Structure 1
């Protein structure tokens, strides 16, 4: 199940969860996660941010629309990267991001969505 993030409180809760989990399990995406989160807030169509819930808490996946097109963002444990997928969580991987990707490249990726 997913909830629609319509206020800063929900986004704050999601961001805290992502960063807490990154500290323990995904240290190579801590910086890039912050950049991607900023890009999501910047690029998402109004009321289109949907956050996956697991056991009542935000999980490591969300969906947005940019200009009406759907994108899924998820953390992949095997590759230890944030994936941006086309349309859904099972869609084609458009981009895979970790801390080795420069901030300027992440900005370019987000601008291109």
Structure 2
């Protein structure tokens, strides 16, 4: 089940959760996660950001639709590669991009600017 991220309170709760989890078991994606979250807010069609819920809490999966291309994307953490993935349509869709803290912020901007 997913929850619409229509206000700053939900986005804040999501960001806090992502950063807490990155501090514990995903240290190589915390910085890029913050950059990516800002980029998703920038590129998403208003009202299209959805965050997965798990056991009543916000989880690590975000879906959004590009305001500019109309395509839908899923962003999630891959526990095997220790990277964040941007996939087409669903968490099982084709991987468009993989990101970690070694990905420069300007590269994240360039990636999102074409989605």
Question: 2 CA distance for matches of 1:40 and 1:106?
Answer: 10
- Deviation, 1:111, is 0.7
Provide the TM-score with structure 2 as the length reference.
0.96
List structure 1 runs of 4+ shifted beyond 4 angstroms.
none
- Deviation, 1:6, is 0.5
Correspondence list, 1:12-91, <5 A = 12-67=12-67, 68-91=70-93
Q: Would you tell me which structure has more helix in proportion to its own residues?
A: 1
Aligned CA-pair RMSD:
0.6
Q: How big is each residue's C-alpha offset from its partner over 1:85-111, in whole Å with a ceiling of 9 and x where there is no partner?
A: 011110000000001111110110111
Question: 2 CA distance for matches of 1:71 and 1:33?
Answer: 15
Question: 1 CA distance for matches of 2:53 and 2:83?
Answer: 20
- Structure 1: runs of 5+ lacking an equivalent: none
The alignment partner of 1:27 has SS state of coil
Question: 2 CA distance for matches of 1:19 and 1:110?
Answer: 21
Which residue matches 2:111? 109
Question: 2 CA distance for matches of 1:112 and 1:34?
Answer: 19
Which residue matches 1:99? 101
- Count, aligned residues: 113
Q: How big is each residue's C-alpha offset from its partner over 1:45-93, in whole Å with a ceiling of 9 and x where there is no partner?
A: 0100000000010001010000321000000010000000011110000
